[in-house]
Amino acid sequence: MDNRFVVLTEYFRANNIGRRKEINKSIEINCRTPQIKRVIIFIDPEVDFPPSLKKVLSGEDYSKIEFHYTKPQGRSTYSDFFSYANKNLVGENCILCNNDISFDDSLELLTNSKDFDLEGHFVCLTRWNERRDQSISFFQPARIRQNSQDAWIFKPSLPDKMIEKGGFYMGRPGCDGMVAYLAAISGLKLLNPSELVVAKHRHLSRYRTYSTRKHRLGGPDIYMCVYPTDIVQYDDSKVLYRFNEPSKGEIYGQSGLDRAIEREGDNQHHWDYAIKKCRSQ
């Protein structure tokens, strides 16, 4: 049985040269990683994929790359990725990640851990930032973006709700809290073993095409936080639901998950607003 992973990511040609190199390097490393068997790139048919990758990769590694062409001048949403996985990757170990994220052999911990099966789970990984000396540091700021995630691992088929409500873009501030909330109300078990499983983030250029404040999505009521751990095991005490109704509060564990599921209908207007904001920018 082949337990290697299939990576799904989105490619765009950044205007900044340094940023292009970071994205290309992340794709290159994922192609070289033995635990990854395919790298499926969602790409605008009008965008040229860098020929440099074919030069630096062996034929075997470059052959891992597959292209999924999107609508011209369009962006892929979580729904697009989840729908593709349900149609084409049932039973596979799948990784959805930002295009500046790469992985290493620590992925094996998800397939070799005793008493853990990826099916029915939704793994949310907090990143490790690459430094200029190529060392890495765990991304855990004191306040803003604490416990954020840049990669998600799952085994299709996913619940239909993940597709029906996933019409927002990856890479926007706050999208991680929304997709974790969506997975929770869809009945998936959330965990974040990122102290063991390394998702390396490559962004020394600091080039961005969005404003953290202007483009931020979600917020309380449609937000789920998944705390990092050093074990590959589901523990609902590591999940936090944050809400404004009827007054501001936070609930850990199964009680928080139950509240989120119970309030889904009442919170739909928050969800609709977030989707509209995302798609209009």
CB 18 within 8 A of CB 25: no
Is the omega angle on the peptide bond into residue 157 within 30 degrees of 0, that is, cis?
yes
Maximum distance among all Cα pairs of the chain, rounded to whole angstroms: 58
Which residues in the chain belong to E strands, given as ranges? Answer: 5-11, 36-43, 65-69, 93-97, 101-103, 121-125, 128-130, 136-138, 151-154, 189-191, 199-201, 223-226, 239-243, 249-252
d(CA 106, CA 101): 14
d(CA 225, CA 223): 7
Which pLDDT value is given to residue 146? 64
pLDDT single digits (tens) 55-104: 898 889 999 999 999 887 778 999 999 999 999 999 999 999 988 899 99
Task: Provide the b/e sequence for 146-159 (b: ≥16 CB within 10 Å).
Answer: ebbbbbbbbbbebb
The residue written with tokens 């793994």 in the block is 123
Kind plus residue range of the DSSP H or E element containing 177: helix 175-185
Distance in angstroms between the alpha carbons of the first and the last residue of the chain: 43
Which pLDDT value is given to residue 281? 65
pLDDT by residue for the chain (281 residues), tens only, comes to 789 999 999 987 767 777 788 888 999 999 999 999 999 999 988 888 888 888 898 889 999 999 999 887 778 999 999 999 999 999 999 999 988 899 999 999 999 988 899 999 999 999 888 888 878 777 666 565 667 888 999 999 999 999 999 999 887 777 899 999 999 999 999 999 999 999 998 766 565 554 455 556 667 899 999 999 999 999 999 999 999 888 889 999 999 999 999 999 999 999 999 999 888 76
What's the one-letter identity of residue 32? Answer: R
Q: Which CATH number fits domain 5-279: 1.10.3190.10, 3.90.550.10, 3.40.50.1950, 3.90.180.10?
A: 3.90.550.10
Task: Provide the b/e sequence for 25-51 (b: ≥16 CB within 10 Å).
Answer: bbbbbbbbbebbebbbbbbbeeeeebe
